[in-house]
Amino acid sequence: MDTARARAGYADARFVRSRVERLSTRNGRLDQLDSDESEGIGVRVRVGGAWGFAAVRGTGRADAEAALARALTIAEAQPAVPDAAPLAPEPVARGEWSSSFERDPFEVPLEEKLAVLLAADAGLRTEPGVNLTRARFSAFQTEKIFASTEGAVYEQRVTECGGGIAAVAVEDADSQIRSYPASHGGHVAEAGYEHFLDLELPGHAPRVASEAVALLSAPACPHGRTTLVLCGEQLGLQVHESVGHAVELDRVLGREASYAGTSFVPADGIGSLRFGSDRINVTADATNPGGLGTYRWDDEGVEGRPVPIVRDGVLAGFLSSRETASEIGLDRSGGCMRADGFVRQPIVRMTNVNLEPGDAGSLADLIADTGDGVLIETNRSWSIDNRRLHFQFEGEAAWEIRGGERGRMLRNPSYAGLTPEFWGSCDAICSPAEWRLISLLDCGKGEPGQVMRVSHGCAPARFRDVEVGVA
Amino acid sequence: MITGELSERAARNGGPDAFALVTRERSLMLRFAAGRATQSTEIDDVTVDIAIPFHGHVGRASTNEVDDAALADCAERARLAARAAETAGGEGRFPGFGASDREAAAADAFDAATAELDPEQGGAALVEAFETAAKHGVEAHGIWTVAEQEQGWATAGEGAAERRSDAFMKVICIAPNGRSGYAASSSVAVGDISAPELAESAARKALAAGDQAELPPGEYPVVFESHAVGWLCDLLAGCAFNGLAHAEGRGALDGRLGEQVAASRINLEDVPAHPDTLPRSFDAEGMRKAPLSLIQGGVAQAVAHDLRSAALAGNGAVTTGHALAPGGHASGPYPTNLVLAGGGAADEAELCAPVERGIYVTRLWYANVVRPKETLITAVTRDGTFLIEDGRVTRPLRDLRLTDSVLGILSRTEALSREQRLASDGEFYGRRFAYGVVCPGLRANGVRFTGGAG
């Protein structure tokens, strides 16, 4: 750090050691048995307003010095950024922190984990007509040591674990999938092996398989405008894509225009931009127990905390870094800088971006109060434009709501909308008892690309006059 | 090259049946936004994958440490996983890495100047892009990136290694009115990439004259530039040419091989050594890569396989050299050097000539597969969408959401341009894997748009 101070206005270094275990079955046989480990150092420097970052796999002093030398050379070779804003001030991070868990997933015998997966897979194959069955387990453990030229030094260790199941049924040109507890890899939490067991994958398997087959003969979701009830993963993804990404301050400031895109949200919109109905309250909270966006410090040493994003339907804040916060005059970073391992530099990412619960009671209460509409809970496909304005989502399955009751299942459900209009149409959100964190395991952003695991808390919500059956 | 020696050591640690794949990445990427350098990343890292088959199961482990103790630990993790699988689940189906059609000597696709990872050269490219954009009164956003990748594989008895380089630059120019234009170039050699030319091209699109038009959802004739065509082909690869999905009955060509699935002018193959592609001579299982015809004259010919999917498919299926991981990637094999044959049109302007009223698409964005068996995808247009009227591009068009079947679009393809370009995005998640689709521009009729965008 002394060497860095002499040539850079700011520098930080992160040592990161990562362990990943992925196990899966496929049609009753064990399929994926992967164990990945890596460690190294990433050094980030700011020289004349330009950033340089270099990552090396070694962990010795010479490796760190080599990375620093390259980072400085790269930063100095960039066109200078003379009007670069100073970094927002931040108390110096010092200490140690570990996420909590009951049972270390990496210490559980492989045979024990595989037995659960095989039992779940067997449950999926009890339904004739299923072509493909999958059961997955995944565990992640990340250790970090961070130091900066401002004197920050911290150690942090995070353990995450979870899994899921899926069944695919095929008939002629049609293919239908059902997943539990979520698609795209299942549900993972900042927790230990106990979370994987709590998912009770074998118990849910027969229903999941049965629904996959039933979808082949279910009526298609009709095209039209109707009331839409979203819950679970689909609502979490809706929050993620149309709120979370839209309020990333690097996007808002145009820094991500070349890849992830920009945002319809203006940098000066706090307190004035109407994001949705007055029922919409969103908080980015890096302190939620079990969340994949939960940590003590972010990857530039800012302490995680709850940050209001939307209050009573009006924009209240951004996901930010020390640099971007400073640029728009915020007095402090939102603590949202996260990096994908030691080989990537931190960028503005989501913590746990949560839709706060309302007062509409249980999901059953909400359905009973709805009259007619459509309910979607599990995502199959998603797409949103580069300003996070126009979106189109497809679910695995939907259920008709008729006369206040959940009716028959519908296949190929989809819906589309315009972000502020859609959130503006929200007239009910279920009560706190229905609120839970969902996980998204593959949020992509940055160049070179970075994958981040994030969580979103939400309770089922109702949206009026939404276009469905669009795909 | 260190990867050859390292892969041999890794394979030795794994034992007689083991397969080792070693990939070293040295890369530099410079990002810029609104005419300012924003981020720069240099990476020097290695991934050692050791795969050990045991009674039909493959245990796989990786590390980025290269001393003997770390390799022994990595091999042990792979071995324990394979044995645990056998204990818990009985016999598996993986045939082993033994039977091979492997390349003894690999051909390099390597440019020494690119491998220098010179930040001064990159900084100069950024300045050129900024100056060109400023001359036109637009903002420049994008990336400049170069890399060297060494890759080697080994089993107990054989092995090979090769060195590759790749370079990519993209420039998105944004005009004061918010309109944007895109240009990109990818090559084995950084010397092939001209920052001023890219910035000029992107600026021209951003500054296209005329008031922005809007079109309602519906079906329109479309002229796709090669970058958009590349995305369509890439999406098709995941839906249709994935041998694992095909063997499981989920693939779009399930029961359709030998059938007409696209217009007769569509000829699509995987050509790993095509002069315009980013070549590689072996796959992640060390198998020799060779041309594979996928659609010929509009007729579906084949799907891509790795060792696992070929074993699952049976009926004499063999690997075609498309493994993305030793023992098979979770999502299956994938063709990474697609080439769509060109047609007779001189250029995109000639493709527009017969169109009375239609849409010109520079690139697609945020694409996702909706229903894979139907090859139904959705994506939005971005950075250069125009209205075609009376045979020529007349004015900017508000972006739109496309939701259509890729095979449907290829079935409704009326013409292709002669010139092919390498369409690549410089997207590198995880270990850098540069690839792209060599393809022409394309005109298709009745392309379905389901909404607005942007």
Structure ipTM: 0.95
Of B40, B119, B370, nearest to A51 by CB-CB distance is B40
Among B248, B375, B224, B359, residue whose Cα is nearest residue B300: B375
- pLDDT at residue number B3: 82
A 414-453 residues inside an 8 A Cβ radius of B? 414, 416, 444, 447-451
Q: Do the Cβ atoms of B44 and A392 come within 8 Å? A: no
**Residue in chain B lying closest to A241 (CA):** B366
- pLDDT at residue number A215: 98
A220 contacts on B by Cβ (under 8 Å): none
A114 contacts on B by Cβ (under 8 Å): 84-85, 88-89
- pLDDT at residue number B106: 52
A35 contacts on B by Cβ (under 8 Å): 59-62, 77-78, 81
Tokens of A166: 């899926």
Q: List chain A residues with pLDDT less than 70.
A: none
Phi, psi angle pair for B409, to nearest 5°: -65, -45
Q: Where are the domains of chain B?
A: 2-206, 218-452
Q: Do the Cβ atoms of A392 and B450 come within 8 Å? A: yes
Could you read off the pLDDT of A198-212 as tens digits, one per residue?
999 999 999 999 999
Interface test with B, best of A35, A300, A442 (most B CBs within 10 A): A35
B 305-364 residues inside an 8 A Cβ radius of A? 330
Three-state SS at B58: strand
**Mean predicted lDDT score pLDDT of chain A:** 97
Please give the average per-residue pLDDT across B96-109, as a whole number.
65
Three-state SS at B283: coil
CA distance B314 to chain A (A): 16
Could you read off the pLDDT of B200-217 as tens digits, one per residue?
999 999 999 999 999 999
Could you read off the pLDDT of A327-386 as tens digits, one per residue?
999 999 999 999 999 999 999 999 999 999 999 999 999 999 999 999 999 999 999 999
Three-state SS at B310: helix
Could you read off the pLDDT of B122-169 as tens digits, one per residue?
999 999 999 999 999 999 999 999 999 999 999 988 999 999 999 999
Of A52, A175, A261, nearest to B40 by CB-CB distance is A52
Is the pLDDT at B105 greater than 60? The verdict is: no
A 192-221 residues inside an 8 A Cβ radius of B? none
Q: Do the Cβ atoms of B60 and A75 come within 8 Å? A: no
Please give the average per-residue pLDDT across B341-356, as a whole number.
98
CA distance A183 to chain B (A): 14
A 90-129 residues inside an 8 A Cβ radius of B? 109-111, 114-115, 118
Our CA angle for B419, B420, B422, nearest 5°, is 145
A 336-395 residues inside an 8 A Cβ radius of B? 343-345, 347, 380-387, 389-390, 392, 394
- pLDDT at residue number B102: 59
- pLDDT at residue number A362: 98
Q: Distance between CA atoms of B389 and B401, rounded to whole angstroms?
A: 20
Whether B304 contacts B335, CB under 8 Å: yes
**Residue in chain B lying closest to A344 (CA):** B41
B77 contacts on A by Cβ (under 8 Å): 35, 37
Q: Which of the four CATH numbers 3.20.20.140, 3.30.2290.10, 3.40.50.620, 3.40.190.10 does domain B2-206 have?
A: 3.30.2290.10
| Buried b or exposed e, range B369-395, using 16+ CB within 10 angstroms | bbbbbbbbbbbbbbbbbbbbeeeebbe
Q: Do the Cβ atoms of A175 and B372 come within 8 Å? A: yes
Q: Distance between CA atoms of B84 and B61, rounded to whole angstroms?
A: 14
**Residue in chain A lying closest to B31 (CA):** A447
The residues, ordered by sequence, that sit 6+ positions from A453 with a Cβ below 8 Å of its Cβ are: A140, A160, A188, A292, A439, A440, A441, A442, A443
A75 contacts on B by Cβ (under 8 Å): 40
Of B27, B88, B451, nearest to A416 by CB-CB distance is B451
Q: Does A254 touch chain B (CB under 8 A)?
A: yes
Chains A, B: CB contacts under 8 A, how many? 256
A110 contacts on B by Cβ (under 8 Å): 80-81, 84-85, 88
How buried is A224 (Cβ within 10 angstroms: 0-12 exposed, 13-18 middle, 19+ buried)?
A: exposed
CA distance A237 to chain B (A): 14
| Domains delineated in chain A | 2-217 (3.30.2290.10), 224-468 (no CATH)
Could you read off the pLDDT of B52-101 as tens digits, one per residue?
999 999 999 999 999 999 999 999 999 999 999 888 888 899 999 975 55
Q: Does B43 touch chain A (CB under 8 A)?
A: yes
Q: Do the Cβ atoms of A471 and B378 come within 8 Å? A: yes
Could you read off the pLDDT of A26-41 as tens digits, one per residue?
999 999 999 999 999 9
Strands B357-371 and B218-224 turn out to be parallel
Q: Distance between CA atoms of B240 and B253, rounded to whole angstroms?
A: 5
Question: Across-strand partners of B265?
Answer: none
Q: Do the Cβ atoms of A81 and B382 come within 8 Å? A: no
Q: Do the Cβ atoms of A34 and B450 come within 8 Å? A: no
CA distance A429 to chain B (A): 28
Interface test with B, best of A59, A245, A392 (most B CBs within 10 A): A392
Q: Do the Cβ atoms of A383 and B58 come within 8 Å? A: no
